[in-house]
Structure 1
Amino acid sequence: MSDSPSSSSSSSSPPSTPSFPVIDLAGRVAVVTGSGRGLGLAYARALAAAGASLVVNDVDQGAAEQAAASLTEQGGRAVAEPVAVGTTEAADRLVARAVAEFGRLDILVTNAGVLRDRVLWKMSDDDFDTVVAVHLRGTFTCARAAAVRMREQGDGGRIILVGSPAGQRGNFGQTNYAAAKAGIAAMARTWSMELARAGITVNAVVPVAATAMTDTIPAFAPYIEAMRNGEPLPDFLRQGEGFGTVEDCAALIPFLASDAARDVTGQCIGIGGDRLALWSHPQEIRTSYARGGWTPETIATAWHTSVGAEPQSVGIPAPRLPEA
């Protein structure tokens, strides 16, 4: 076929409008953990807006009930199930509530989380265990309960885990949180393989937004305060840093829950501000070989000119603020 314009191309015609798939979740049922406020509430609202019925979960009973009421007032179907995630009993309660209220479970979003930030030598056992119990064990128990139900139903499902840039790159003072979020990314990859035959996709989202967890970043603080006073976030944050509102991050959830993402699984997907991104999976980037194997001495000799010539960076890059 020729790429040259036809004789009729000179005639005036209105520009074509892009055609977008319809994200319709009518008849689907979702559980969103930690959805009483912040990112979790934004996820629940986005799912409800696409037609899904919701089980709203939060450790704070008042927040969960208020969130469910607000979704109902906006025309959605939602119930509150306040419980602290982490235990098998809590996970079973959430799945059972979805089935009791709406007859099934199609979507799970594991958003619940807490912070106990300390540098390594100051982090207590309780600081570590609390964060791992909520983020990592809570994700595991809820996903297991959801997978059991979805496999019984026999028509697939969507499990959406919430990760973090800290889990992808590490972050100062967040041993517990970074470890848990890194584990969540690994679980998404593993479960995507284990649940593929059942038609259940599993992905991890990596959101970046103005929340209580990011309010403490000094570089962002004045811009977040201005945003809450009605000013838009500047482009260097929305685009350069991929940092925006919780609503900016919420669009990814209905997409992953929909038929449009039926072939998307095992991925870590970042979203924030104006940016949508796909995170790479860890892989070997340089290799070197020694016939018969390596000794400490041969590794020391070869390191800086072979596999260690370009060491990988760590940590979340500092914001690139505009010059004054």
Structure 2
Amino acid sequence: MTSSGVALTFLVLLGLVVLVGPGILGTANRLDRLHVRTDAAWAALDAALARRAVVTRAVSVVCGTPALGTAADRAERASRVDRETAENELSALLEDLDRSVLAPALAAELSDAEQRVVLARRVHNDAVRDTLALRRWRLVRWLRLAGTAPTPSYFEIAEPPADVPTQRVSARVVLVDGDDRVLLFEGFDPARPEELFWFTVGGGVEPAEDLRATAVREAHEETGLRLSPDELVGPVWKRRAVFSFDGLSYAAEEWFFVSRAECSDVDTSRFDELEQRTIRRHRWWSVEELRATDDTVYPVQLAEVLPDALAGWDGETRLVR
């Protein structure tokens, strides 16, 4: 290359740096602020949960319900990984509490502590949503602008419902293709359409229907694939979760089967009206992609437990989050 060509190339690169550099710097600064916001939101949520635990222990003494105090201690000491489960168990006990026996001041303090948890959770999840949205930008991923900052995650604790949560048993299919990729759908809660998440094939068990029949039916309705009950391995996992969807609260019990798909073609034409409204797309995920993604995936431990399930089932149904 001639000296003039080198000079021209240098000028072009310099121009790109001048044009693009401020944008990259601005994005990096914005991402840093979002991480700070997420950390602060988690600290506020952690403090709100701790206050609820303190008030709950006082309530436990007054009501003579040591199980309530034990649940509060367990929730407060739980690691971040186990915190959701412990806090939801505490919420369930508080839902069953007869508050009429409490002094008005203590009942009001408990109600206030619970509402502060609700508000802090919403603020935290809003911060997580905004952070994840920016981290998913191609430019952010390509240039690794997130650095070593950990990927934030939503805190899934059910808000105090007006009624008792609806019990929901479902059968789910971990459908994998010939390349050991798992099929997931991306959807959202109509009440919080900005919070996207990925989930496996499956749905609720109908009256007089067993788990395998549900798994086969749901697989056909959601993918067009016709599986037989004998093709289902498991249930390999069981997941309990308390969550809100479309303004209603559910206490879910999910059973997961593994099955192989002969082809990767998916037919979603049998989606019901709610699925058509709330499911955006589907794709096949490798274990490596699951480990690397910033997207929210349920079950949360899918990338961790999928390899063992693909290697062969030992007959034990394991609890997953």
TM bucket (normalised to shorter chain) is under 0.3
Q: Which structure: larger Rg?
A: 2
More helix by share: 2
Q: Which has the higher contact order (CA 8 A, sep 6+)?
A: 2
More strand by share: 2
TM-score by length of 2: 0.23
TM-score by length of 1: 0.23
